[in-house]
Chains A and B, each alone.
Chain A
Amino acid sequence: MFDGFIRDNAAWTPRAPAVILPGRRYSYAAFDADIDRLGSALAERGLGPVCGVVAVAIASPYLQLLTMAALARLGICGAPGADPGADLRLTDSDGLGEGPPVLRLTPDEVTAILAAEPRFDLPQLELDPDALGHVMLSSGTTRSPRRVGLTWRRLEAGNHANLRSYAAGKAGTWAPVTGVDSMLGFSMSVAAWSVGGAVAWGFRIRDIPALMEQVEPGIIGLTPRQLRELLTVLPDGFLARPEWRICAAGALLPAPLAHEARLRLTPDVRIIYGSTEASLLAVGHAADLEEHPGLVGRTPAGAILEVVDDDGRPLPDGETGEFRITSERMSQGYLDDPEASAERFRDGWFHTRDLGRRLPDGRLILEGRVDDRLNLGGLKLMPQVVEQAAYAAGGVADCAAFAAPGTDGVEQCWLAVVAAPGGERDRLAALLAARADLPPVHLAWIDTIPRNAMGKVERGLLRGQLLAALLGGDP
């Protein structure tokens, strides 16, 4: 499927860059020819759709992209290297851990394959639209990742939605900082190739400012945490590049961070609210965060998103409930996990476990995870409400609210805070205490907020650390 986009552009714009790596560029013609070379070599080693799901555990950035596309050209379902349920792992390293069977391509073999004369073009396959095209791993915050199967049709429908929402009108260079094994990174790569753009891959965050000055502007996809890091490493005197678009995904984008990015990087900062299971749920403008913290935008056409109460009944605009979604660009369940599937996929809806509400104009406000909801002895509260109050008070660089039991066993509200330079601790405590809409908030001052790879706060870890500290008598 998406290998076809590369072949098309190899005919229309053969000399345009398809892949930009640190220090090297590959044109569409070169990339397409390499896909045929590698695809032929893999077919000779017996790889085909009957092999099932093939995980790409390849460290070399170019070879990783090449392998993804070559598998698609052979009609084989690809997967991230870490997929525990894959039928085969393709790798270029010799130190893979336990897991599915391994097919290793040594660097010498790869060199020989890519140096060979292209013997033949692989034919364009007629794919069964309902067959699996790719497996993604959903970012489970606690459990082992769940496997989400994307059919070829679902990949097409998802790409179409991307092209008419966050990517509308953009070509140029697309830099998926979240990695091509993430849903955002994978779909950005496919989308870039579908419009003849270049995928910039293998760059560290500190290389991004130079990239923004050197290549044709396009889209940078990252998590809020990576955006924070990008702003930290931004050289003095960096002139904002308004032709670039920044797309933040994976966690809520804090309004102050968005504000700084709009001033220092580009005014065109978008919020992507998506999930591996349901593709795009909403796309919004970061500028709107000033007025509505937690805003994630509106649902692109083709999907129906509802806000429902605990019994699954739709709620009126303005009331908080769980988001559920149905669309053509949605998966139908997890692979090999009927229990999780039954829990999250019901009656044609995917239940996101995200809590939020809808504004009268249709924009969605995300308040947090159902599982994060603090239950303070019966008082239910989203941690984001406390966190946003802390940011609004000022002097806070980062923070996360969580619950921990008090001496009486009743859960108390805690806020882990990383102070901004010059932030006054007493002032924050006083301002939070003055908020009539908040319960008493205990403050814990720490150096960093623990987050997972996608930038989501690990509240369980905070709770554990706090309890250990309290038990140890060291507040």
Chain B
Amino acid sequence: MLHDQTEFEDIIQKHPQEKRSMIPILQDLQAKYNYLPPVALNMVSQALDVPLIDIISVASFYNAFSLEPKGEHQITVCIGTACHVRGAPLILEEFERKLDVEAGHTRNDGKYSLDSVACLGCCAIGPVVVVDGEYHAQTGIRDAGKITKMLEKKEKTND
């Protein structure tokens, strides 16, 4: 995937050029591209005068960052304690089958990324599944199929 390097530059320059800006810059990059493009990380390293290995170290430590591009659709299943006791693991497994992708990964065709998260803080309405930013409350195993169908339908109309 090719990106305009001046865009990276703009994002980096928005912050003070010090080490303390590393996480905010990476967060902005992640928000814009859904992952951290390698070229951008090199530029962050030069701008902040921090070795690239330290940038990679931070980028791989925090869950919010991804070093690989994310899929067009992002499905996140909450597996916090409250969702867990209400059956979230079975829902996650069902999504793995329906979407044909392992949790924590993006499907080969780049359509879907399936992730789990340890608590979104809306335990009352669990099990919670977030699909492209939209919260689905009190989901069951069968909702995995319904949500997958809905996404596939969207894909078709887009084509």
Q: Are A and B associated in one complex?
A: no
Interface residues of B (CB under 8 A from A): none
